[in-house]
Every structure is written in C-alpha cells, then in structure tokens.
Chains A and B, each alone.
Chain A
Amino acid sequence: MKLNKIHTVVILGILSFLLNIPSLQAQEKFFRAIGTPHKPEVQVSWNRYYTYEGIVEIMEKIAKAHPNLAKMESIGKSFEGKDIYLLTISDFKTGDPDKKPAMYIDGNIHSNEIQGAEFSLYTAWYLTEMFDELDFIKELLQDKTFYINPTINPDARNNYMNKPNTPHSPRSGMIVLDNDRDGQAGEDGFDDLNGDNDITMMIRKSPTGRYIKDPQDPRRLIRVEAEEKGEYEMLGYEGKDTDGDGEVNEDGIGYYDPNRDWGWNWQPDYIQRGAYKYPFSLPESRSVMNFVMDHPNIAGAQSYHNYGGMILRGPGAEEDKDTYNAEDVKIYDAIGKKGEEMIPGYRYLVVYKDLYSVFGGELDWFYGGRGIYTYTNELMNSYQYFHKNEGRGNQEEQLKVDKFLTFGDAFVPWEEYDHPQYGKIQIGGFKKNFGRAHPGFLLEQDAHRNMAFTIYHAYHTPKLSITEVKEKNLGGGLKQITATIYNERLMPTHSSQDLKHNIERPDYVSISGANVITGMVVNDEDFNKVEEQKHNPEKIKVRNIPGMEAVKVRWIVSGNGNYRIKVDSAKGGTAEWRK
C-alpha cells in the first residue's frame, strides 16, 4: 500500500470517528428489560384503559406495523352497529393461519369487566413485537395461530367508561329490556345525581339508621351494635324513582347476561337469570359463534372476566358434570395448575363447584359444543395489593389501598345533595373503576402473566409430524407402507368430548402417488392388530391422535412410484412426508 493511500485511509478513519461523535452521544437512552419488547414498533401505554375507539386504534397500528404477522377483520356488528374486530396473529409466511392449530382469546363479555380487552391486546402486541427477538415466539407463530378478539361487548364497554356507572354495571349489553315486567323497558335506571360520571352510594341521616361514620376514617360507615343507636341509613346506589311505581333503579340498561347466551345446555331466564331469547340471540355472541364454527382449527380458548384471581374451567352447572370426563380433566388440570404457578394468587377452580351454577355460558359452549379446551380467567385479585388474600370486595383493604397506594384517587368523598324523594342525603363511595379494575400500576404485570398462561395453553395444542415411514416388500410386486404420526404436545387432536359426539371430522392420513390396494389403521403393530378401511383407502380416517402419543397407518400398494403422505387434522394442523 502506498503512503498517500494510507494517508487517505487514516484521514477517512479520523473523519468517520469525528462524524460518529454526535450519534454516539444520542445513542442509547434505554436499557433492555428482560421479558418486554425493547423497541416496539407500536408504542402502547399498558397502564391505562382504552375505550372501544382506543382499542381499535391499537389493533390497526399492530396490523399495519406487522403485515406478515397480524391481520385485522370485523367478525360482525354489535347491537349498536360497532364492528367487532379480531386480530389473526401468526407467521403468514409459513402456511395458511386458518389451517394451523389455533388459540382463541376474547375479553370484556361483561361490559364492566374491562381489562380483558387490554390483556388480549397485550398478547397481540407482545407476540408481534417479540417475533424477531425470541426463537420461542418465532416458532410458536410458525406453528400456531392466535385469534384475538379484545372486546366482544363494545357498546356497553363504552357505556361503562363514558356514562355514569357502578363497578358492576352495565355488565349486559345495550339492548334495553323490561326488567320489572310492567310493559316499559329501561324506564328507571341509575341517575348520576352529582354529575361525576360515577354511580356511588346514597346515605341519609336518620334517627332509625343503623350506621355511623367511623370517627377515625369518615369515608367508612360502620354498622352499630344491635343495642346502639346509629346515625345514617343506606339508600342504595345513586338514583330516584323515575316512573312513579315506588321503586328506585329497578329497570335500567339491560338486563340480560351475554354469558348466558351460548348454545350448550342453554336454559331460559326463569331457570338461568340473564338468559336472552335463545342461544346466540345477541348479535355479539352470534358473531363469535359464527367465527368459531368457521374456524375448526381452534383447539384452545381463553375468555377474560374479572375479578377474584381465578382460572376457571367448566362444567358451569352440576347437571353437566358428566360432560367433562377424566381424560379431558387431566389435560385441563395440567394446564390449569401450571397457570397457578405462573400467576401468583390465582387459583385454578371449577365453575359450578367453586363459584356458582351457570347455564349457557361461553366456556361451556366452547368445550361442550365444540370440544375446545377453554378457560375463563377472573382477572385482578386482592393479592396484588399487599400480597395477602383478603378476598373480593374487602372494604378495609380497599380503604387502605386508597390511603397508601392511590392517595385518594379511588374514593368520592361524601357530599350533601337534595334528593326529590329522599330529601337531604349524602352521596359518595368508591369509584366505578376501583375494585374490579386493576389500578394502572398493576395492569401490565398481570397482563403479561395471563398472556404467558395463554401461550402455554396455545403451545400445547397438538403438533403433528410424520416421524417414520417403513416399507416392507410383500412379494408379487406388493409393498406394505407403515407411517407413524406423532403428536408432540399435550392436547389430542380431538378432546374426548369431541370424540363422544363426533364434533370435528376425523384426521385424514392420505397417500398419493401409489396404487393403493387396501389401507388400515394399525392399533398394535407388534401383534398385527389392524382395522381395515374398505371405502376410499387412500385417505385413512383416524378418529384421534392423542397428546404425546403416536398412531400408525398402513397401506398395501403395488408399483414403485415416489409417493407422498399427508396428514390433515382440523385441530392438529398438517404435516407431510415425501419419498
């Protein structure tokens, strides 16, 4: 190398060094935290809640930023005409997402149980942002599909957020029914008397009242002893007698329960309070049902509710006990118990035994009606405040939380009000977004843990491969071909509920490029126990490929061509082998 050339190189080097100085200074402001997308394409704050419009905007951003991983579609319209949007998350370059074993996730079926929408959405966001970062996520999306449906009650989600409500309302959707059977629908609902967009409690000073305000904490009402005189009486939630029948708040929005509208062991309202007209008579659950019927690849499902920290499985009603048999319960238990470890404070429970009886619930239709392994998580629990299990609605704990952790953000202080029927009253109490909903600072962690549970669930949907193909010469130009198909995950291609009713078609193992004389399923290779299929032996119908097990299929063929073997399972995906 000549001297002046060296010169040039040195100068260039120095120049580039100097030019680099500003960029070096602007460099890393962030240091990677394990477990979280470091520089996400889509920026989302996971410490607040989103209205329907906010949810849709994030979904659009995810679909736009990751066109090869996310697709957004409307699966139907709500009662008020809002689109029910769903994201399909999968690696679109490795096959048709509707043919891969899939996990369906939805949230917010009860409109006041809002965080299911954010948790679902977090899952879509995490999977798409981590696809290029983690081999595990990459492989997961190559194998599987996630159908993510953040809110299946968009109308009443917005009503809960934008209009005055309690933590427990509206729960139903926005169809207005006649709850007191007087021929008028929704004529006497809550009234936001103090105009703060929360429906809190009404109390009144009364000589016969049984409560006093705690002298050390005036937010708190204490019931007096039987022989003591009280000062206040409770009048219930904010409202008045609008229709003049002598009752307050007896006929508001709803009431029906979207989670009593599903087509497995459905019962009418007089047996199952909250049932609407007939299964899927609500447009939102009908849209979900149509989607599920059109996607037989859904093998696992998750629905998010609140609250109490539970991982629930069916049966929803004792009458349905026999639907869940031992083989399926084993799989439910394996995944559910892992969930308890992944989400501290959450307990794995059975709806009818540990909660209450439900007919026509969503999870029972998914399992009973479609054979899909399904959990419902009741998000948020007291454990997350002080790592103690104080139970649902523990007033003492909640007052402490609002004193030491949220500094008064959760409580509307008592204020006087002139009521048209009750006269001078006081209005106050916990806000609608406290108790059931996570405070912002707890939201992201619980979203991540619940997502991790659904990923574990999705991972264990079946995964099929043709692990071995053996040939045996039978003489006379005949050949025996035996193929082994292995399912390397926990779930079978057909749950035992599915097998009981033949819900999903059998798995097909087919051979092409060979002249098939006969075909059979091999039940016991060592002792040649086989089951012949006379009709159409090129395509052997296999009833089920159990989890962590293999099945064998055999053909007797003539000729010497190069043949191809294919496995096609609705819930187990596809696999291929070529000679």
Chain B
Amino acid sequence: MKNKFLFLLAAVCLGFLPAAAQDDYPTNKEVAQRLQQIGSSRDAKLISLVKTEGGEDIWALQIGRGDLENKPAIAITSGVEGHHVLSAELALQVAEKIVKDHSQLLETTTFYVFPNMSPDAYSQYHNKLKYERRGNAVKVDHDRDGEISEDGYEDLNRDGMITDMRVESPLGKYIAHEDYPQILVEAEGANAAGKIRYLKLSEGIDNDKDEKFNEDLSEGIAFNKSLTYQFPVFEALAGDYPVSQKETRALLDYLFERWNIFAFVTFAPENNLSTPLKYNKQGAEKRIVTSILEKDAELNKIISDIYNETVPLKAYNQENQGKGGDFFQWAYFHFGRLSFSTPGWWIPEVKQEEKDSLNPKKGKITPETNFLAWAEKEGLDNIFVNWTEVEHPDFPNRKVEVGGIRPFAMMNPPYRMVDSIAEQHTDFVVKLAEMKPKLEFHNLETEKLSGGLTRITVDLFNNSPLPTHSEMGERSRWLQKLQITVDKEKEDILAGNTIKLSGKLGAYEKETISWIVKGNGTVTVKAGAPHTGYATMKVKL
C-alpha cells in the first residue's frame, strides 16, 4: 500500500508516466518499468517467474479480482520470438488497456500476461550490434561439431547491423530483381541469362573454414522452437531435448498450476486467426495427433471470424500456421486449451494499380519487393542498407558487398503504428473473454416426497457460444471435468452422489440433474470447474 502510494507520488512529481515518452520499442528495462506500473494497479499483480541465463526476468502479470484461479482465464503470451519486438509491446498495451478500460470484465475473467518469453534475444534489438535473434543466452553447439559458437556473424560494413552479403560469382544462384535491383531473387527461366550472378549469404566470415557461413551462432535456444509438440530434435536453436530451458520450464510449471485458463492468445509469427486451422481427418485419427480435431476446427473458425471483423488488416503472406516445437501448437495439442496465435501485424499487400502506372512493374512480386513498395507508399526511409563493397578474407580478389533490408523491419512496424494495432487486438481479446464458458442453473424444482424426502431437479446450462471443453480438452488430464456437488452428508442423499463429474457441456447446452435428499434446511449446489467458473445455488428443502 505504502509502496504504491510512493510510486504514484513519484509519478506525479516527475510529471510524466514512463510510457508517455516512448518513440521506439521498449528496452527490457523499460518493459519492466511499465509492468511494474501496471502491477501497481489494484487489479494486477506482477511476479517474476525466473531469471534467464542472460539475467533477464521472465515476467508474469496476473490481472483479475477476487479468487483469480477459479475464474476462466485467458493467457496472453508474447516475445515468443525474440526478434518479434512488436509482440511485447502489444502484450503491454493490451494489459494496460484491460486494466484501464475493461475492469468490469475482471469480475468474471482472469488474465495472465507473459509479455516476453525471449528477453535475452529481444535485447539484440537495442544492442550495439542489431540482428534478428531467436536464441537465449545459453551456450549451444548448434552445428554439433564439438565446438561452441565458433562461427557467428561479423559486422563487415560496421553499420551496427547484420544484413546480407552478395558475392559476384558465375556459380551464383541469385540475380538482381527487375524492378527492385537492390533485391536478390533466385535466377530462373530465360530472363536470367546474361545477368550478373551472385552468391547470397548472411553477413560474416567462415571462421571455421567449413564452407558454411554463420552456422554456429553465439546464441542459445529459441523458446518457440523448443516445446514438445513436433519438437525438431537436434536442429539448430532447438537443442537436444524439449523444454530444456529454465524460462520454458518456469512458464510451463506456472501454467500447469493454472487450471482456469480456457484460451491462449499468443503474439507470434504463427497465424491461425486470419485463417483458421483446417481439420485433416487422417492427421486427427493418428495415434500421435497432427491435426486440429474436427469440432475444434469449427471453434477456430468462429473465433477467426471475430478476429477478422475486429482487425481490418487483410491476410497476406500468412502461411505460417505452426512449426515444430512452437508455443501456440503446444497450448492446443499438449495442453488441451483453445489456442490462438497472430503476429498482430504484417506487411499489407500493395496492389500494382495503386502504383505509378507510367512505370509498370514487370518482375515477380516477392515478400521483399512488396515490403519495398509498402515502405515507399508509407514514406519510410532508412529501411534498406545499400550494398557496399567490403574486403572479405574468404573471397580474396572477389567483389563482395554487404547490404539488404534492415533487420526487424519486415516483422515489426514503425513504432508509431502500434497504438491502433494494440487497440484492435485489445478489442479482440475482450470479445474472446466475453465468449468464455458460463454456467448457470435454470428450472429448479423441488418436490416433496413422503417421509421427509425431497427430489431436487435442475438444469445446468452453458450460456456461451463455446463449449466448456474443446474436443482436445476433453482428452487432456490437464483440464478438469465439470464437478457438480451437493453439501449434504452422503447418507442423506438417496439418489445421486455428493459429487458428480460431467465431461462437457456444448455451446448453449443443458444437462438436467436430480437428487433425492433426506432432511430439512437448505443445501448448496455448486457446479463448474476452474476454467468455466462456478455456478452456485441454495435450495430450500
């Protein structure tokens, strides 16, 4: 109490709140400050789950009122990829807005926000040397040759960024794009003849002379490549076994104790909101399930439609619907919860006709050319590092140039665009929260039988467009069944049990329950599970 007061006092005296001055994505330190500020609200509590190898906190923000763990909850997870810096900002703003603008929701819903699962990798955005990093700070031998991180990047043009490298070579597979000559495209067909050919590599030196460039980076395990579902064992950034990192374990251990989470919203490159996952019968029927289950695909479609109504950005290049070891698929396939993922933002499609018709484009449209067209339209500069020649020890007397699209630019919009993205995504999260399973009692009847017996009959109703259990959730031991309890001694219940378990109630589905009870007074009937919340009712005998 006293601390909160001091903090507010300090904020007032200094005349600003830390968030106000932001013009770029926050540093880890700034993320922590903003979280502490949210955590100082009466509806939120901030805890650190663990410190990473790089010494950064893994934060968890619990937002809600009263008995948090017995109200249905949404878990929002960001920083699932360290170079997706937008996602951490999105989580922060969504959390800020829920606390500020949607506090009435907290009477019935709990939110768990994990704003950054990759703080070690994330810090590379603000580092002197900037590159799109995924791995944490542990030491890993990615190419499994017995030497650790012996071949990482080098900033050859000394611009503080790792971009690409092109080497003129008759053996090269790349040529300059017709419309955007700064972009390299794979040479194909007749139009490639007679053009300068390039090798395309990432910026650096082949330190261990194995003719592979930058194959053993100075970074560790990537969070979004190290979970249990379709774990890509022994691949770079994945490691030797799943869930090997302490931040992953800390998060999972925390989640396994939160029985109340009914849905996950993850801000990550994977996208099952613009387009829902498709049901594949064969994959769903295998022993190791590889497809979303049939009824859950329908739920995904319902939520997807709501997302597309709420977030106007039209899907473009959004084919990533899951990769081995990722987080959002884990939450569904291995944790049995509804799981939704979106990058939050992507480069919109720039249509040709919107462009200068005097200079019609001839070349193939690639994500990179679309990016340049978009940047041009938005008037963004400083998004491309022009090719400059460097001396390269691995290519003596050859023309080697360094350049390319700036790191982070294709995944993260300019900071000024974030506010509206965050607003739309807050709206989406709120709509999802409003759809949570909701149990109600209806049509209570008590009939007096002779001999002091009473028959109680009541309908338990799920007043929600979502079922209480997804099809996968029904299978998982990590989601509780609906428990219907009567607080009467076992001997006084002549028909029925003091506790009855019910597997599932579908969308707007009811189940009629009855007991024959002996005696007088009142009994309390309670039904639900942590992830549906509980309905309670007093019955006079």
| Chain A contacts to B: CB under 8 angstroms | 177-183, 243-246, 263-264, 266-271, 277-281, 289, 293, 319, 359, 365, 369, 501-503, 505-506, 534-535, 541
Contacts and interface: CB of A to CB of B under 8 A. Distances in A.
B241 A182 contact: no
B252 interface: yes
B228 A501 contact: no
B268 interface: no
Contact of B498 (A244, A277, A369): A244
Given A245-B498, A245-B500, 17 more contacts: A181-B479, A182-B501, A263-B240, A268-B228, A268-B335, A270-B336, A271-B287, A278-B249, A278-B252, A289-B241, A365-B241, A501-B233, A502-B234, A503-B234, A505-B146, A506-B145, A535-B209
A177 B288 CA distance: 24
Contact of B241 (A244, A263, A506, A534): A263
Contacts of A541: 145-146
Nearest to B493: A244
Interface string B210-245: 100000000000000001100101100000111100
Given A280-B243, A502-B145, A535-B208, A270 B252 contact: no
A493 B333 CA distance: 38
Nearest to A286: B249
B200 interface: no
A267 B146 CA distance: 29
A384 B204 CA distance: 67
A280 B246 CA distance: 12
Nearest to A267: B288
B406 interface: no
B269 to A, nearest CB: 22
Interface string B450-478: 00000000000000000000001001111
Interface of B: 143-146, 208-210, 227-228, 231, 233-234, 240-243, 249, 252-253, 256, 259, 287-289, 333-336, 472, 475-481, 483, 490, 497-501, 529-530
Nearest to B496: A246
B132 to A, nearest CB: 25
A278 B144 contact: no
Contacts of A278: 227-228, 242-243, 249, 252, 334
Given A266-B228, A503-B144, A245 B501 contact: yes
A280 B476 contact: no
A535 B476 contact: no
A251 B231 CA distance: 32
B522 to A, nearest CB: 19
A496 to B, nearest CB: 14
Contact of A369 (B233, B253, B259, B490): B233
A278 to B, nearest CB: 4
Contact of A183 (B144, B228, B480): B480
Contacts of B242: 263, 266, 278-279
Contacts of B288: 267, 271, 319, 359
A408 to B, nearest CB: 40
Q: Which of A180, A182, A365, A541 has the most CB of B within 10 A?
A: A182
B253 A277 contact: yes
Q: Which of B234, B477, B529, B530 has the most CB of A within 10 A?
A: B477
- Chain B binding surface, main DSSP class: loop
Contact of A505 (B145, B252, B529): B145
A280 B231 CA distance: 15
Q: Which of A183, A264, A271 has the most CB of B within 10 A?
A: A183
29 contacts: A178-B477, A179-B477, A181-B501, A182-B483, A183-B259, A183-B480, A243-B499, A244-B498, A245-B498, A245-B499, A266-B228, A266-B242, A268-B334, A269-B477, A270-B336, A277-B256, A278-B242, A279-B243, A280-B243, A281-B252, A281-B253, A319-B288, A365-B241, A369-B240, A501-B233, A501-B234, A503-B234, A505-B144, A535-B210
Contacts of B475: 270
Contacts of B227: 278
Given A243-B499, A245-B501, A502-B145, A369 B252 contact: no
A534 B476 contact: no
B384 to A, nearest CB: 35
A506 B210 CA distance: 15
Contacts of A246: 497
Contact of B228 (A279, A365, A502): A279
B254 to A, nearest CB: 11
Nearest to A266: B228
Nearest to B488: A244
Contacts of B234: 501-503
A430 B241 CA distance: 42
Nearest to B146: A505
Contacts of A268: 228, 333-335, 476
Contacts of B472: 270
A575 to B, nearest CB: 18
A317 to B, nearest CB: 8
Contacts of B231: 266
Nearest to A180: B501
Contacts of A270: 336, 472, 475-477
Nearest to B253: A277
Contacts of B256: 277
Nearest to B207: A535
Contact of B480 (A181, A243, A266, A319): A181
Contacts of B252: 277-278, 281
Contacts of A180: 501
A468 to B, nearest CB: 26
Contacts of A271: 287-289
A127 B501 CA distance: 56
A289 B483 CA distance: 38
Given A244-B490, A505-B145, A182 B476 contact: no
Contacts of B483: 182-183
Nearest to B334: A268
Contacts of B336: 270
Contacts of B333: 268
B241 A280 contact: yes
A541 B143 CA distance: 14
A158 B439 CA distance: 44
B476 A183 contact: no
B302 to A, nearest CB: 24
A505 B256 CA distance: 36
Contacts of B249: 278, 281
A280 B289 CA distance: 22
A502 B241 contact: no
A369 B144 contact: no
A33 B460 CA distance: 76
Top-10 shortest CB links A-B: A505-B146, A263-B241, A502-B144, A270-B475, A535-B209, A278-B243, A244-B498, A501-B234, A244-B490, A181-B481
Contacts of B240: 263, 293, 369, 503
Contacts of A369: 233, 240-241
Contacts of B241: 263-264, 279-280, 289, 365, 369
A359 B286 CA distance: 14
Contacts of B289: 271
Contacts of A280: 241, 243
A186 to B, nearest CB: 14
A130 B333 CA distance: 53
A39 B478 CA distance: 55
A203 B287 CA distance: 38
A182 to B, nearest CB: 5
B194 to A, nearest CB: 35
Contacts of B210: 535
Contacts of B479: 181
Contacts of B209: 534-535
A253 to B, nearest CB: 16
A538 B334 CA distance: 48
A12 B177 CA distance: 111
Given A183-B530, A277-B252, A244 B146 contact: no
Nearest to B229: A268
